[in-house]
Amino acid sequence: MFLLALKMLLGDRAKYWMLVGGLAFSSLLMTQQYSVFQGLMSWTTSHMRNMRASIWVVESRVEQVNESKAMRDTDLNRVRSVEGVDFAVPLFQGVLKARTADGSDKMIQMIGLHSGTLYGRPPRMIEGDIAQLRLPNSVVIDTLAMESTRLGSGMGRPLKVGDVFEINDREARVVGICQTERHFFGYPYVFSSYDQALQYSPRQRKMLSMILAEPKPGWDTAEVAQRIMKETGLRAFTVPQLEASTIRWVWNNTGIPISFLTTIILGFVVGVAVCGQTFYSFVLENLRNLGALKAMGASNGLLAGMLLFQAMIVGLIGFGMGIGLTAFFGLTVAQSGQPPFKADAAFVFQSLAAVLVICALAALFGIRRVAKLEPAIVFRG
């Protein structure tokens, strides 16, 4: 009977495509928007993956990784003296102006690394040697900075190792090129030593942006972070804590999640509306046939099962098409990384569940109608 149920629906080409199309559109909207949202959210924490520190110590009011408030230089020693801390190093981070070939300014994300350890260095060097950051006036740039030809000296080509440009009127010589994940603000990364970074940056009373720390072997990271907070009054995060705090901050302080959520809910509602409507009219048009089946002894349960089955099958097909389109979109934008796109298996199952809920709701209207149907109607002209 279920096979016949499927044929009944497939026989109605117009309705079938309307249902599949509606569901494909709805799944596309939900999955694509969700993936872009996930991508955006991953941008908000990309900074942590570019730096890879175990414990992040910041000024007590800082809530997220893309923000820093300067601390006193003495804070570094206070952190170092906390029990369980293996080592702690200073970090400078700030958005500075680099001079482009045509004389205008370009914003860059300046990172000053502790020159002794280079702790917080980017995960992958493409060219050059990060150790050369210890030489005066040297920087390592990421590929985004490299490709930004405006930074070069008017050569109209990407920057290379050995090229020179200016940051705040000071010479910066490229000694290496690294791979980074795009920063939330979208500025290219420029790494230098901590002391060098202070020279590039306009002079201020307090210059220490963050302290990166590592727990002693055998110590629990979260516990050490807790100790740092208790003993210094500064704020210390482990990686998962800072990630969570950063995402919470985005939820509380930007309209991004709400606007994406709205679109996703809209996709769901459109799905329910289009499918519910189409499926219901399919049921109405087949009322005589369903009545005949009922007269011939099909129980309400069987008919409900058949309608549900029909709805679920179009749901799966529509979802398949929608997720296919989303994947296509993802592959298309993967090259440029704009807009950000991030999908995972759990999310595929969640959106599949959402689509099946849409289908179940659509079928439910029809099932209610059929349950109330008097089989005797088939005798009426």
Partner 1 sequence: MTTPLRSVNPALPTAAPVVFNSSGSLAVGARGIVKVFGVGDARTQALKGADFEASEGELHLIVGPSGCGKTTLLSVLAGTLSSDQGEVNLFGTRLTGLSASEVTRFRCRHIGFIFQQFNLIPTLSLVENVSVPLLLNGAGRRDAEAKAAERLRQVGLAGRERQLPTQLSGGQQQRVAIARALVHEPRLVICDEPTSALDSMTGHQIMELLSTAAKAPGRCVLIVTHDPRIYGYADRISVMEDGRVTHVHAGASLSSYIHSENRS
Binding region for partner 1 (CB under 8 A): 1, 3-4, 7-8, 10-12, 288-289, 291-299, 302, 374-376, 378-381
Residue 189 CA from chain centroid, whole number: 19
The smaller minimum CB distance to partner 1, of residues 90 and 291, is found at 291
The smaller minimum CB distance to partner 1, of residues 10 and 353, is found at 10
Least separation in angstroms between residue 8's CB and partner 1 is: 5
Please, are residues 132 and 185 in contact by the beta-carbon 8 Å criterion? no
Rounded CA-CA distance 92/191 in Å is: 10
Least separation in angstroms between residue 287's CB and partner 1 is: 11
Least separation in angstroms between residue 366's CB and partner 1 is: 16
Least separation in angstroms between residue 280's CB and partner 1 is: 18
Least separation in angstroms between residue 302's CB and partner 1 is: 8
The smaller minimum CB distance to partner 1, of residues 103 and 381, is found at 381
Least separation in angstroms between residue 378's CB and partner 1 is: 5
Least separation in angstroms between residue 66's CB and partner 1 is: 58
* CA count, 13 A, side-chain hemisphere, 164: 5
The smaller minimum CB distance to partner 1, of residues 162 and 297, is found at 297
- Quick one: which of 24, 2, 4 has its CA closest to 278? 24
Least separation in angstroms between residue 5's CB and partner 1 is: 10
With helix as H, strand as E and coil as C, how does the chain read?
CHHHHHHHHHHCHHHHHHHHHHHHHHHHHHHHHHHHHHHHHHHHHHHHHHHCCCEEEECCCCCCCCCCCCECCHHHHHHHCCCCEEEEEEEEEEEEEEECCCCCEEEEEEEEECCCCCCCCCCEEEEECHHHHHCCCEEEEEHHHHHCHHHCCCCCCCCCCCCEEEECCEEEEEEEEEECCCCCCCCCEEEEEHHHHHHHCCCCCCCECEEEEEECCCCCHHHHHHHHHHHHCCEEEEHHHHHHHHHHHHHHHCCHHHHHHHHHHHHHHHHHHHHHHHHHHHHHHCHHHHHHHHHCCCCHHHHHHHHHHHHHHHHHHHHHHHHHHHHHHHHHHHCCCCCCCCCCHHHHHHHHHHHHHHHHHHHHHHHHHHHHCCHHHHHCC
The smaller minimum CB distance to partner 1, of residues 259 and 300, is found at 300
Least separation in angstroms between residue 303's CB and partner 1 is: 11
Least separation in angstroms between residue 373's CB and partner 1 is: 11
Q: What angle do CA 227, 230, 207 make, to 5 degrees?
A: 95
The smaller minimum CB distance to partner 1, of residues 10 and 258, is found at 10
The smaller minimum CB distance to partner 1, of residues 296 and 346, is found at 296
Task: Tell me the β-bridge partners of 141.
Answer: 177, 190
